[in-house]
Structure 1
Amino acid sequence: MSDERVLLHHARVIDGHGREPVDDGALLVDGPSLLWVGPLAEAPDEAAGARRVDLGGRVVCPGFIDVHVHFALPGEEGNPIMGAGELPTYRALKVLERLRTTLENGVTTARDLMGLDAGFRQAVAERRIAGPRLLVSIAMLSQHAGHADFTLPGHIDGLAVAVAFPGSPGNLVDSVDGMRLRVRELVAAGADCVKLASSGGVTSPHDRPEWLGLRPEMIRAAVEEAEAYGGLPVAVHAIGRPGIEAAVHGGVSSVEHGYALDDELRAEMVDRGQFLVPTLLETVKDLDPTRTPPAAYAKGVRWHRIAQESVAGSIAAGVRVAMGTDSGLTAGHGNNLKELELLVRLGGMTPLEAITAATRDAAELCGVADVTGTLEAGRYADLVITDADPLTDIGALGDPRRIHAVVKEGRTAIDRAGVLGEALPPLCP
């Protein structure tokens, strides 16, 4: 292990820009960043003397980006409400395992859209814990009886006690002025983006997906405040048409889910340059009827089918897509790259388009395209090394055994196949 430059060569390089792969490609890693990427035959003078690592013809992709995760939720581990009976410290320790698993399975950047506070982001950035580079919304904002209202009998705020960490701003807002204040509170708490819920949801107890869950004037107020405070992206949970329409007209950055999109709203999203985050992985496994209220189970079955039937129309209409999975809700953590196969099979994308949605385009949505999302000089050395050819078998990326190594900021997060040896330093001490 040393601090010398490392030339990874004999690789097939997919750069994240949507271009055809570079065969017999190479990447020159210099500390946390890439100094050069291209055909080995064109390696620059700076590669002379670099430590060389032969990747044996494996494919190298940019580290993948999941723009919609919930690390505070257990996924297949159990019911989220279990968190109400757990100490915050215990819940935090479970989050650490989810972060590590997600990173080691190919996601080097993740946007947590409710649950984690900025302390987790800081700990990851300082390499105190292993995990993807984090962006956090901290809370999810809706009005009372909206998707963020999980009030339990006895007037207990379910999200506050089972999901959020102490000191986080609340999720419920009922006026324009209240929305402006709450967005400012989130900014002060270190939020990287703002998460709203403009429609009802599948799991929320007091509403339905086809209901409008946040008044349009409140959405516009949130967008204005987010723009004023550094141009933060605004992501909106929106399933039914009224909620999607309010979000699109309100000028949000991304529509999360967007199951009831129609041609009129798709065209407007294209004109505005807004992203769709389809979260298909969450739709392929229905809620467990043995631990889910019948009304929620019925909502899930219906809307999951609508989601799978509508996504191809949105992609065909030219709506920009970024990969997000909603991992933590029903999907287990670490399965994020299974979303790529769904974008191809259900959405009609080519494998290269799906990879681009999970790298360059996801980075643009999150505002981090200047540091990650593509393999080029000046970007972080965030790499996924696989023995699969994702252009012929995109589903292979969803199998952790096919992810031979993951590199984050020039450091080895995992090296299952022993291809890197000690050429790069370990991510965490």
Structure 2
Amino acid sequence: MKNACILCYLMLLTGLHVAGQKKPGLLALTDVSIIDANHRQALGHQTVLIRNGRIRSIFTTGSENLPDSATIISIKGKFLLPGLIDSHVHLATDPSGVDNRAHTTGVLKRMLQSGVTTVRDMAGDARVLAGLSREAELDEIPSPDIFYSALMAGPGFFSDPRTATSTQGGVNGDMPYMQAVSDTTDLVRSVARAKGSGASGIKLYADLSAPLVAQIVAEARRQHLNVWGHAWLQQARPSDLVNAGVGSISHAPLLVREVIPEIPANWKTHAHDAGFWDKATPDLSPFFRLMVARDCILDATLLTYKKWAESDTAARWDYEVGKRITAQAYRAGVRICAGTDDDQEQFVPSEMRLLVTDAGFLPIDAITAATRNSAMALGIEKDRGTIEAGKVADFLILDQDPLSNIANIGSVFMVLKNGRVVQKKGASVTIYVK
């Protein structure tokens, strides 16, 4: 059958959620260059065939006939990446205040438009997160898919006002998704409650001992639940978490606690040049060898520390040391994922740029951090993070090559989530229906 050419104007005039359009049963993206962790150099002239939201096959354009039932989008000269994954967000810390629905859905929409198709929320009101997660999964709102954590911390943490805003209407420290734990806690029940909240993993935070960390991880593993940790827990060093078997640890600056029990006062009170920070940053090579051996992922979160340093000179050390530690980890072969923490103005593309400009990453490794490594941190690498047959069809399509300049990660041409076009910039795209 002869191709009929239909010119479809998918205008992004007011941020329209194009996912409202019916998802084609069979969609072909043709003549595109693929970039992902498996293709460190762009693989040109490829066709990606998508059926019912998953990748059916990938082949050189023109080498196979396309089915008559396929809808074809020709994107010659563009660059196809896996959808980006933000491994560290906070969307529901205060759902009745700053994280109200209008604000949060606006943030999620902008994330999706930037190419972020999946996020991991690292502690908030799971009642809200469960609802948002369902709506995102069903494409009822323009949003990345949302995976979230249940938090466990020492009892003292629950005087923090953030825990009160995240548990309104319940008992602070005794909600399934936000629990105070101690040596007398029934961990079988606590982990089961966390799992029942719909969380994909448990986040360990604040004032837990190394033996208690090991017990939580062991019980969570028995109940098939991931465990992620703040890199330092006051009573547990970073190596205690890694030895216990957590899947990822968050915040590069906290890794200094492996060898420095207290942060030197002059780090916070004096202005220092780059040479000072080069000498002051400890060598963490033995710790990074442990991370590699245990396949523990570093969730560095550089963006939030850079913004913090810009607003508070006493916090400058966090960023100066954090970016150097991240560079050390990268050179040591540690897997590093890409998370933005509580920044809701800039998204993962900004973290990726910092990994290149401030931590010495190659652009392909920054892309890998925000795709495959973040998928591994969430435990969803079988479905997302690379462009392979069988995986979910979440894609970021760029006008310009990000391997030549990581800033090109912002040249968004199109975003697809679950095989559906959800974002299109520019005047038009030509779609062929056979």
In the superposition, the TM-score normalised over structure 2's length comes to 0.79
- How many pairs align? 375
- Tell me the SS of whatever aligns to 1:304: helix
How does 1:149-228 map onto structure 2 within 5 Å? 149=157, 151=159, 158-164=161-167, 166=169, 168-169=175-176, 170-175=178-183, 177-197=185-205, 213-228=207-222
Tell me whether 1:233 sits opposite 2:253 in the alignment. no
Tell me whether 1:381 sits opposite 2:393 in the alignment. yes
| Residues 130, 164 of structure 1: alpha-carbon distance in 2 compared, 3 angstrom cutoff | farther
Confirm or deny: 8 A CA contact 1:340 1:355 kept in the other structure.
Answer: yes
Gaps of 5+ in 1: 74-82, 152-156, 199-212, 290-296, 425-429
1:207 corresponds in structure 2 to: none
User: CA-to-partner distance for each residue in 1:98-148, whole Å, 9 max, x for gaps?
Assistant: 2211111111111111114222212211222221111110x4322144xxx
| Residues 298, 345 of structure 1: alpha-carbon distance in 2 compared, 3 angstrom cutoff | closer
How far does residue 421 in structure 1 lie from its aligned partner after superposition? 6.1
* Distance in 1 between residues matched to 2:154 and 2:313, nearest whole Å: 23
1:27 corresponds in structure 2 to: 48
How far does residue 288 in structure 1 lie from its aligned partner after superposition? 7.5
Tell me whether 1:40 sits opposite 2:55 in the alignment. no
Runs of 4+ in 1 over 4 A off after TM superposition: 46-49, 164-168, 239-242, 418-424
Confirm or deny: 8 A CA contact 1:244 1:258 kept in the other structure.
Answer: no
Paired amino acid for 1:132: P
User: CA-to-partner distance for each residue in 1:354-375, whole Å, 9 max, x for gaps?
Assistant: 2112112221222212221111
Confirm or deny: 8 A CA contact 2:74 2:430 kept in the other structure.
Answer: no
Paired amino acid for 2:334: V
Paired amino acid for 2:291: M
* Distance in 2 between residues matched to 1:165 and 1:317, nearest whole Å: 43
2:77 corresponds in structure 1 to: 57
Confirm or deny: 8 A CA contact 1:176 1:218 kept in the other structure.
Answer: no
Confirm or deny: 8 A CA contact 1:10 1:25 kept in the other structure.
Answer: yes
How far does residue 41 in structure 1 lie from its aligned partner after superposition? 3.3
Gaps of 5+ in 2: 1-21, 257-283
| Residues 273, 63 of structure 1: alpha-carbon distance in 2 compared, 3 angstrom cutoff | same
How far does residue 349 in structure 1 lie from its aligned partner after superposition? 2.0
* Distance in 2 between residues matched to 1:92 and 1:279, nearest whole Å: 25
Higher-RCO chain (CA-CA 8 Å, sequence separation at least 6)? 2
Q: 1:141 aligns with which of 136, 141, 152?
A: 152
Report the identity percentage.
Answer: 27
Tell me whether 1:106 sits opposite 2:115 in the alignment. yes
Q: 2:362 aligns with which of 342, 350, 353?
A: 350
* Distance in 2 between residues matched to 1:239 and 1:306, nearest whole Å: 15
Q: 2:421 aligns with which of 397, 409, 412?
A: 412
Larger radius of gyration: 2
Tell me whether 1:319 sits opposite 2:334 in the alignment. yes
How far does residue 254 in structure 1 lie from its aligned partner after superposition? 0.7
* Distance in 2 between residues matched to 1:335 and 1:421, nearest whole Å: 29
Confirm or deny: 8 A CA contact 2:36 2:367 kept in the other structure.
Answer: no
- Tell me the SS of whatever aligns to 1:194: strand
* Distance in 2 between residues matched to 1:96 and 1:315, nearest whole Å: 34
| Residues 53, 373 of structure 1: alpha-carbon distance in 2 compared, 3 angstrom cutoff | same
1:78 corresponds in structure 2 to: none
* Root mean square deviation of aligned Cα: 2.7
In the superposition, the TM-score normalised over structure 1's length comes to 0.80
Tell me whether 1:302 sits opposite 2:317 in the alignment. yes
How far does residue 395 in structure 1 lie from its aligned partner after superposition? 2.0
